[in-house]
Amino acid sequence: MSLLSDLDRQALSRCYDLALKSYEEGGLPIGSVLTRGSAILAEGHNRRVQQGNPILHGEMDALQAAGRQKSYADVTLYTSLSPCMMCAGTIVQFGIPRVVIADATSFGGNEQFLRDRGIEVIVAEDPRCLALMQRLFAERPALWNEDIAEDHCSGAGA
């Protein structure tokens, strides 16, 4: 995590806190923070289970909390887990120029998609986020499989 600024570390720490909150609510442990400069613009966490909404991923929840923006050209999106294709597409659609990912090991694959579209992608591999996803795979594999619409866990070591 040496390429990370203090703000990056703080935002990733908040992503972890939000992910843990979601997990403790019975949901998926994914948190997201949107910043503009040094200020937190919005935050969210995966609430698919809690709200019964299949598209309320952590990134989508943070973007919804941010409300309408005239531009996203000066924001950074932080996420505890690498964005799925739906969230990656939204990042591209909104023109978010920078994404910092805490965990791309447990679930990944869209980092290059984002990079190919000119988005700066930084992968931190935060051990707390990695451990929380491993806990999900061990304790609630069916919930993860439902979220990614697969019949098996695709997480590292799962």
100: left (phi over 0), alpha (psi -120 to 50) or beta: beta
CA atoms within 13 Å, Cβ hemisphere of 112 = 1
Give catalytic residues, as residue numbers. Answer: 59
Look up residue 13 and give its two tokens: 């720490």
- What is the band of 9 on the pLDDT scale with cuts at 50, 70, 90? very high
Longest Cα–Cα distance in the chain: 42
Query: Quick one: what percent of the chain has pLDDT higher than 70?
Result: 92
**Side chain identity at residue 154, one-letter code:** S
Superfamily of chain region 6-101+138-148: Cytidine Deaminase, domain 2 (3.40.140.10)
Predicted confidence at residue 113, as pLDDT, reads 97
Average pLDDT over residues 75-85: 97
The pTM assigned to this predicted structure is 0.92
Structural domain spans, the chain? 6-101+138-148
C-alpha distances in Å from residue 26, one per residue of 32, 80, 95, 143: 17, 17, 32, 9
Predicted confidence at residue 149, as pLDDT, reads 58
Place of tokens 């935002």: 11
Place of tokens 């061990």: 138
Residue 125 pLDDT more than 70? Answer: yes
Residue 1 pLDDT more than 50? Answer: no
